[in-house]
Structure 1
Amino acid sequence: MKSGYLPDIVSKFGKLYDSYRKHMESGNWVEASLSLHLMNGALDINYRIPISTRLWESKRESWKLWECNNCTTTETRIINKGEDDESSEDVEISSSFEKKDVKIFTEKCSAQVAILSGKKKREMWICPKCENITSVTSTLKRLQKHENPHYRGCIYDEPITPKTGLMRNRGAYPTAMRKWCTSYAKELEHRMMIYRVEYQKAHPDEDYGDYKDEGDK
């Protein structure tokens, strides 16, 4: 096999993918997992995905943003994207931050606040931009999401295999493995697509023999 040669990698990747599908459908999690790891290994080294729960969670699909009620940020929005009259405009929106990016502290409530809330202390946060101080409970929080499809470029650690064979076929383990396998496969397919596109762009004159990309069929 020619190292890094696209048709060879695609062929090997495809055979391993078929193996993965067969084993996942039959519930053979050990072999399904092995096929996925081999698929990852079949990719060019620069396109393989890391296995890390920490990295996976850091690239989550959605997250909460805390909005400041005192300052704004300019955001550019695309109007009629993809159309002939596509344009952009700048709009002012409330400045927003993730919880990890703001300073939170506890303060003693004033007599009036204590009477209204029934609490002696409350949590406050400081806006990193304007330094305005706001109560955590009164802050507007909105859910921010990546556009779909969203790929993280990694996969979380494989679920721990139960010690007994009986538990491998029932309970939470099969569900957890099916979810993990599906997520892993989607990430790998996306990496394969990126590699295919970038390889052909970098080797426009290379002779692929009888190989045809999916888009050529």
Structure 2
Amino acid sequence: MSNQWDWDDEVYRIHGLEPGSVVPTTDYVLACKHPEDRERVQAILQQATKDAQPFSAAYRLLAADGTERKVLLICDAGVCGGEGDVTSIEGYYIDLTEDFRHESAELAQQAVAESAQHRATIDRAVGGLMVAYGLDADQAFELLRWWSQNKNIKLRELAQGLVDAASQGQTSHDEIRRSLDCLLHDVSSHRATDEGTPAHD
């Protein structure tokens, strides 16, 4: 598979670059990652070049303009050649950084206001995205709103679809359940230890 990436103008902007100013390669993409996230993202990309399976990765990006951004890379699937080798991977970036969310804050607030009666459903959908992607509440809502805008579907309908799918077990599998079991065990054990420790003056 080629080491070269094909970016649109928006992806160049996310990386703090003028469109066409560099030829993006896998090495360049990894060099832009935050040092604490680089190894994890590299492993995800390497796996995708082997099995062509869809993936998502939230990580910190060190842009050329000196800005640290929180981005989400989502790849739908890889494209395989005649011999089964992965020839390309197709996907897109979502910028979750605070400064770029300001420009859409008014629209997001309007969407929430219009969907006040559906807030519980939206909150449940946001909570699911927080767990799945490792995002905070604002970032998860921005992701939900991004899909709503780009797929031209009402926010409340999109949230309801996610909640329905989750309640039917469509978003769950053994690995997720095991991870959540371990997390619940760790959190509850830590809480029980804290509550069982007597206070001292």
| TM-score after normalising by structure 2 | 0.21
Q: Counting strand residues as a fraction of each chain, which structure ranks higher?
A: 1
Q: Select the structure of larger CA radius of gyration.
A: 1
Higher share of residues assigned helix:
2
Which gives a bigger RCO, structure 1 or 2 (Cα 8 Å, sep 6+)? 1
